Structure 1
Amino acid sequence: MDREPPSASLIAGRQAYAAILEQMAASARMELVILSHAFDAAVYGAEPLVERVKAFCLAHERARVRVLVNQPALAMRSAHRFVELGRRMPSRIGFRQLDDEDRGVIEELAIGDGRSLLHRETPDQLEARYLADAPLEARPHLKTFDELWERGVPAREFSELKI
């Protein structure tokens, strides 16, 4: 029996994108992965999102957040709350930058527990697709993310400077 693919919700604008990320962090139990071009402060610096990610990390002993950023130097021009949270919780939140050979990857995505998927083709695209419960659709994106993560290197710009 063929399965009907789930229909995606269309998400428009940065605030709506941040609200869906917040919802994904609220419903995740084990892992939230994020791939971002420049980790836009308007999306990732929103206090409700940061508080929800913090609650996720504290509520579940094995909770992990992995963030891959294409342009970490650009992202750090406006260092924001999410990065600070990651600095305070390095065992739960990891930041890596894409390997130089993968810098052509410009899509933005978030995946919660390998089931929910938020995706837009480019960072400047105003609309994104959201699938709340679509493990079959999320799986290839998570596989690609894992491959990029393995090739990536720690994002030094996001680590705390100790002098």
Structure 2
Amino acid sequence: MTLKIRKYSWQLAPASIKAIRQQVFIDEQGVPPELEWDDTDEVSDHFVAVLPDNTPVAVARLVPSITDIGRIGRMAVVKEHRGKGYGEQLLRHLMAEGAEQFSELWLSAQQYAVPFYEKLGFHVCSTPYDDAGIPHLDMRCLAATQIIESGREQAPTIAGRDDATWHFAQENDFTDLLDTIAGQANQRLWLYDRLLDHDLYDRERLRDIFSAMARRHRVCEIRLLVHDDKPLVQRRHQIVQLMRRLPSKIELRLVNDDYPAEDAPFLIGDRETIAWRHGFDTLEGWARFSDSGRVKLQAEAFQRMWDTARPSLELRELPL
């Protein structure tokens, strides 16, 4: 059954929004009222999903941010209406609404609900933590626009579960999918390109993803393999600065021109995910989130180049 979804400010929100949150979070889950009702409600957009007869069945809110991040929260479905796909309809609506305003969407998921959010393209980006006595994990979606436009279901862009091919030809699509791969890696991120182009790689979000991976996982390696490091000295590249602070986790080498090298750039994450461009001078390419066979081949090619590569003399001269 298709729902009607309506948006309100807190000041104009119908009583049903508070009633459903009271029922689900306070009465059912035991969340203290002083934690459920907060100042964030005043600045959020509130959504209620209703049946054709106007019976309210689900609610959620979308919280704006001074950054380019939207946060989905307080999502609840009335008990007798669960298991009918209403929560999924509401979340897809919030993703479409949020994708028009923000470059990424975040939410705090109760641990048991992680598979529900993964089904729609959110991936875990934190370790478990306690919120109101309930285990939670942070989740984010960095490619909401691509997911909504594709119409794909069953864990789109989730590492190890999505076997579709995602094509890209524009910078935003490429960086969103690249970051989605990088954001799900736990042990290995290997990046090969001609150079660390500032438009593609000198970005705060990618830097933060690399930093979080390096700090969160005790055993991990981020390898950057390039042909030309001279542009790195022209300005303070965010990835390079991070590398100098975390030298045991992030390393950059230069391809040795005396040995064969790959003619197209790529990023591989762990043993499942890969983003591939058709050439150094194009943004056209594809990403796959469950392709262990192709990742194995590219990892072998990367390792061959890495073994014969040399350290960067330019970086030794680059001031902190």
What is the TM-score normalised by the length of structure 2?
A: 0.46
Q: Which residue of 1 aligns with 2:257?
A: 100
- In the comparison of the two structures, how many residue pairs are matched? 157
Letter in 2 for 1:158: L
Q: Does 1:147 align with 2:304?
A: yes
Letter in 2 for 1:42: D
Which structure carries more relative contact order (alpha carbon 8 Å, separation 6+)?
Answer: 1
Question: Could you list the runs of 5+ residues in structure 2 that have no partner in the other structure?
Answer: 1-162
Kept in 1: contact 2:164–2:289 (CA 8 A) = no
Deviation at 1:113, TM superposition (A): 0.2
Task: Considering fraction of residues, name the structure with more helix.
Answer: 1
Q: What do the CA deviations read for 1:81-106 (whole angstroms, capped 9, x no partner)?
A: 01110111110000000002247644
The alignment partner of 1:66 has SS state of strand
Matches within 5 A, 1:43-54: 43-54=200-211
Q: Which residue of 2 aligns with 1:90?
A: 247
Q: Which residue of 2 aligns with 1:13?
A: 170
Q: What do the CA deviations read for 1:29-61 (whole angstroms, capped 9, x no partner)?
A: 101000011111111111111111100111100
Q: Please, what is the CA RMSD of the aligned residues?
A: 1.8
Higher mean C-alpha deviation, range 121-130 or range 143-152 = 121-130
Letter in 2 for 1:141: Q
For 1:98 and 1:75, the matched residues in 2 are separated by 15
For 1:61 and 1:112, the matched residues in 2 are separated by 16
For 1:106 and 1:75, the matched residues in 2 are separated by 21
Deviation at 1:136, TM superposition (A): 0.7
Q: Does 1:124 align with 2:297?
A: no
Question: Could you list the runs of 5+ residues in structure 1 that have no partner in the other structure?
Answer: 1-5
Q: Which residue of 2 aligns with 1:32?
A: 189
Kept in 2: contact 1:29–1:60 (CA 8 A) = yes
For 1:151 and 1:158, the matched residues in 2 are separated by 18
Percent identity, please.
Answer: 24
Letter in 2 for 1:129: W
What is the TM-score normalised by the length of structure 1?
A: 0.88
